[in-house]
Each structure stands twice: as structure tokens, then as C-alpha cells.
Structure 1
Amino acid sequence: MPFILIHTPQASGTLVGVLEVVLVSTLAGLLGSLTGLGGASVTIPFLVLLGVPVKHAVASGLISVIATSSGSSSSFLREGVTSLKAAMFLECFTITGAILGALLTVNVSSTAVALSFSAVMILSLLLTRLTGSHQGPEGVRQDRVSAWLGLEGSYFDASLGREVRYRLTNAVYGGLAMVWAGAVAGMLGIGAGAFKVAIHELVLRMPTKVSTSTSNLIMGMTALAGAGVYVASGLMVLDLAAPMALGTTLGSIAGSSLLTRIRDVNLRRLYFVLAGVSAAVMLYRALVLGV
């Protein structure tokens, strides 16, 4: 079986099997797409368990985010659910945050990155209780900036059997909050979907389905900005990122086909288990093994 050699400052190198990376990434992509966590949030802890250095796993995780975002966004765009105006506006903020977050990871210790990853997974569990059932309130009053940007739209909701119209508000506050969400994504190599969706729904007052689809589009652009920093710093191992992206994409496709066959309550339980395990793995690596 072919292997990937990852050079690190601490050792002469780490050997990881290509097939192992593909299989782990496929499983992680499957579970990540079913729960909404995203493949990278699950893949990175798995790779760390295989011996991949934390910073290299984080850098490669962004490639997975780009791959899965490209696949899922196309279908959402065809269905007309994604708010392109909101995405283009908010990407300016998330890209800035992603670059800052990636620069932070390059310059801090691996232990700090692992602890931050664990904390973010725990925080994402708390955020799921605040989002997920928002249909977009009628009669939202837009502020001047949101109205000037034209942040409104409509989509056909098959589950409701009607067209849903919405208006977004608090564009400035939402944009500033997205800098933080972008920084989390860039620093930890994940999509940070839980944070983006929370900002969309709680600050911008975006309907849940529009929020999810718009978040998917923003994730790819955000990850692309952060990935550039890791490539320039030498942390990006393309031999690792390529099979990781392949596996995550295959798993995400399989997960999307299984999504409608699994009860929501079981998906929610799976989400909590995976986020908890991811947090525990990174916490263990940081505190017990010292990464």
C-alpha cells in the first residue's frame, strides 16, 4: 500500500497510508454530511489519531471543505434556495477572518490549536439548541444597509407547499460576526457551519434552509482563502489533502442519499456523539499526549 510521508520539525517524518486516509475521510464525510458537522470536523480528529500532526491535518481539512462545498452548493443553487447577494456580502468578512485565523495557527503551538478545536466542537453543540427551526419571520424590518444591499429573496419550500419570502436585517452586525466565524474556519481547518448558521438565523434573521445553503457556498470561498496561507507556510501536504478531499466528497455524496431515510432524532443523537468524540480526541491529544 502506498504511503504519504509527512515531515515535521519534531521528527524525521510521519508515514500515513493513502488507503487509510481515503477510508477514514469517506467515513468522516458520510457521518459529517448526515449530521451537518461537515467532513473536516470529523476527519481531522481521525487523522490526528493516525499520527498526522495537528497543523498538517488542519491545513488539509480546508481542501476537504472546498471539495464538499463545491458539490453541495451546485444543487442548492439550482434549486434557488441560496441567497447569492447575502453570500457575496458576507464572504468579504469570512475571507478576512479565515486569513487571520490561518495566520494564527501558523504562529501558535499545536497544543493551542488542538485545545481550540475541542472548545469549538463543544460550543457547536450549544449552538445547535438555538438554531434549526427558523422559517423566517414575517414582517422583518430591514435596516438601511440591508435594504441598500437588497438582502431579500424567496424560494419554494416543498415541505410547506408554498413560496417563502424573506428579508434580512442587521447586515453590519452580521458581517462583523462573520469575521469571527471565518477566523474559526481558517484556524481549525473546518467549515464552521454551526457558527455561520447561528449568525445567519439569529442576527440576520435568515430562514433555516436559506441559511444552510448559503453557508455551504460561503464555506468554500472561506476555506480557499485560508488554504492559501497554509500553502505559503509549507503546512499544506498535497499528497495528504488529495485523498482526503476524494474520500470526504465520496462520503458526503453517500450521506446526502441516506439523509432522508434517517429520523431527525437519530441524526441529532449522532451529531452530539460525533461532536463530543471529536472534542474528546483533540483534548486528549493536547493534554495527555501533548500533541
Structure 2
Amino acid sequence: MEPWAFLLALLLTAVVAGGIGAILGLGGGILLVPILTMFYGVSLRYAMGASIISVIATSSGAAAAYLRSGLTNIRIGLFLAMATVGGAILGAGLVGVVPERVLELILGLALAYSAIVTLRQLSLEIPENPPGDALAVRFELGGSYYDERLEREVTYRAVRVRRGFVAMFGAGLLSGLLGIGSGAFKVLAMDHFMRLPMKVSTATSNFMIGITAAASAAIYFRRGDIHPLIVTPVALGVIMGAYLGTRFMTRLRNTTLRKLFLPVVFYLAIAMVLRGLGIRWP
């Protein structure tokens, strides 16, 4: 492939990944790492470096749009960011110690768990709003937003905050280890453990992934994992895709978001587990 064609292909791929990432709260990184390695033959370390930078770009674009729409809950995002940043710093420091196949296997298994949990609540539109636990009440971890699709105001409050906090530490750890925004796991923690509406989970995830990624980006840069010729088209494409994705997401139902979320995660889970086991697929 000619160099210009390779760069153009990276740009277009990043647009799609950024759009999907912004809609589903994945940040695009969880898609870009396997796509760059499996389809473009990019070294995992460079794919992780490009992904971590693109995650920051996605967060900057998507989070701004979601803040205007009222979907992003900054209070919840900053509270949980304490866990994700700590995990990201620890994970980034362990990258040179853990073999690539182990990293791929960890990612695949974590994605498979995410998909199974999501499948169990596929038809849930708005979670029931039980009284929040003590931490949710103390830190006011709740809010409301106007749902354009349902045409009504939706009020919510977090529950099982401690479980969500622990899950977020694990999400940050995976972010640092694998060079992704770990948006899938952030969405899982907020949607499943803390019982937040799916739209709030994805929007708040987009806000958080940039914080988590920035915490470990300096380590990747110092190791030389940030390749300019790969990072530049990927970051530009992801920003464009994120802008388009945010405009589309607000018009979807929460159940539709889960249905879009599920096949992407299942596919990536299977692909990464097989690669971790040494099986080249697709």
C-alpha cells in the first residue's frame, strides 16, 4: 500500500472508530488497538500509543457536546476519576513487564465479561430509581436530563457506589496496560453497578476517558510509543468521528445504545482472546 493510501485509510478508519466510540462511550481506543494491529499490521506498542492520544482527542470533542446537552454528570465523573487515574498510572508502569499476548488475552476476557453483563439487561430503558446509598447521598451523585427520544425529563441517582469505584480502578488499570480509554468498562460500571441511564453512562464515560488517558500518556511518550505518522491521522479522524457521533447519540434510546454496544464488544472479545492464545484472526 502506498504511504498516502495508508494514511488515508487510517484517517477514515479513525473517523468510524471515533463515531462509534463517542456514541457508545468507548472513546474509540478499544476499537483502534485491535483494528490497527489486526488489519494494518501496526506494532501493538505503536497502536497503543496512537490509541491513547486519540482517546484524549475524542474526550475533548465528545464531552463538550454532551455537557451542553446535560447528559454528562461532572460530579460523578470526577468522583470516579480518582479511581481510574490511580489505576491508569499503575497499569502504564506495568506495560513493559507484561507480554503482548497476555495483554491481548486480558482485554479479550474483560470484554467478554462486559458483553455478558450487558446482554442480561438489554431491554432496560431507564433503571428504577431506588434511594441512593450513603456515598451517593453524601456526594450528591445523581442528576437529571431531558431525553429527546422519550420527550421527558429523566431523573436518576447512583447506587452501589463502592462497587462502581472498584470497577473504575480496574478500568483505569486496563487503560494504562492496553493503551485504551477503557470506556467499555467505565460504561459497564456506571450502567450495571451504579444503575445510571445508558446515555448518562456513555456521556460521562466520554468525559472521563480523557482524564484517564492523559494520566498515562506521558509514560507512553517517554518510552517512544507515540509514532507521529500514525498518531496524526488517527487523532484527526477520531475528532471528526466523535463530533458526528455525539450529534447522533442524543436521538437514540438507551436500549438501542446497548444493542449497538453488544455486537462490537463480542466481536472484539473473540478476536483479542484468540490473538492472546496465538491464533491469528481474522
The equivalent of 1:175 in structure 2 is 165
User: 1:130–1:198: 8 Å Cα contact kept in structure 2?
Assistant: no
Q: Quick one: distance in 2 between partners of 1:233 and 1:280?
A: 29
Is it true that 1:67 corresponds to 2:35 in the alignment? Answer: no
Shift of 1:113: 1.6
After superposition, where does 1:30-69 map in structure 2 within 5 Å?
30-33=19-22, 37-49=26-38, 50-69=40-59
1:85 and 1:45, CA in 2 relative to 1: closer, same or farther beyond 3 A?
A: same
The equivalent of 1:242 in structure 2 is 232
Amino acid at match of 1:29: G
Amino acid at match of 2:31: V
Is it true that 1:193 corresponds to 2:190 in the alignment? Answer: no
Shift of 1:93: 0.6
Amino acid at match of 1:44: V
Shift of 1:21: 2.2
The equivalent of 2:103 in structure 1 is 113
Q: Quick one: distance in 2 between partners of 1:160 and 1:272?
A: 22
Q: Quick one: distance in 1 between partners of 2:103 and 2:138?
A: 39
- The unaligned stretches of length 5 or more in structure 2 are none
Shift of 1:268: 6.6
1:128 and 1:191, CA in 2 relative to 1: closer, same or farther beyond 3 A?
A: farther
After superposition, where does 1:9-158 map in structure 2 within 5 Å?
17-33=6-22, 37-49=26-38, 50-131=40-121, 133-138=124-129, 140-158=130-148
The equivalent of 1:11 in structure 2 is none
Q: Which has the larger radius of gyration?
A: 1
Q: Give per-residue Cα distances to partners, 1:242-273, cap 9 Å, x unaligned.
A: 22111222233344556689999997776555
Shift of 1:150: 2.0
1:263 and 1:149, CA in 2 relative to 1: closer, same or farther beyond 3 A?
A: closer
Q: Quick one: distance in 2 between partners of 1:259 and 1:25?
A: 18
Q: Quick one: distance in 1 between partners of 2:250 and 2:74?
A: 26
1:251 and 1:66, CA in 2 relative to 1: closer, same or farther beyond 3 A?
A: same
Amino acid at match of 2:111: M
User: 1:55–1:105: 8 Å Cα contact kept in structure 2?
Assistant: no
- The unaligned stretches of length 5 or more in structure 1 are 5-15
Shift of 1:157: 2.3
The equivalent of 1:233 in structure 2 is 223
User: 2:84–2:169: 8 Å Cα contact kept in structure 1?
Assistant: yes
The equivalent of 1:13 in structure 2 is none
User: 2:18–2:27: 8 Å Cα contact kept in structure 1?
Assistant: yes
Shift of 1:30: 4.0
Question: How many correspondences in the alignment?
Answer: 278
1:257 and 1:237, CA in 2 relative to 1: closer, same or farther beyond 3 A?
A: same
Q: Give per-residue Cα distances to partners, 1:121-166, cap 9 Å, x unaligned.
A: 323322321456352423x223333222122322222333332222
The equivalent of 1:9 in structure 2 is none
Shift of 1:183: 1.1
Shift of 1:101: 1.7
Shift of 1:24: 2.7
Q: Could you state the TM-score of these two structures normalised by the residue count of structure 1?
A: 0.81
Q: Secondary structure at the match of 1:97?
A: helix
Amino acid at match of 2:48: V
- After the TM superposition, which of the residue ranges 210-219 and 257-266 deviates more from structure 2? 257-266
Amino acid at match of 1:41: I
Shift of 1:37: 4.5
- After the TM superposition, which of the residue ranges 274-283 and 196-205 deviates more from structure 2? 274-283
Shift of 1:283: 4.2
The equivalent of 1:10 in structure 2 is none
Shift of 1:60: 1.6
Q: Secondary structure at the match of 1:128?
A: helix
**How much identity, in percent, do the aligned residues show?**
36
Is it true that 1:204 corresponds to 2:194 in the alignment? Answer: yes
Shift of 1:68: 1.2
Q: Secondary structure at the match of 2:144?
A: strand
Q: Could you state the TM-score of these two structures normalised by the residue count of structure 2?
A: 0.83
Q: Secondary structure at the match of 1:107?
A: coil
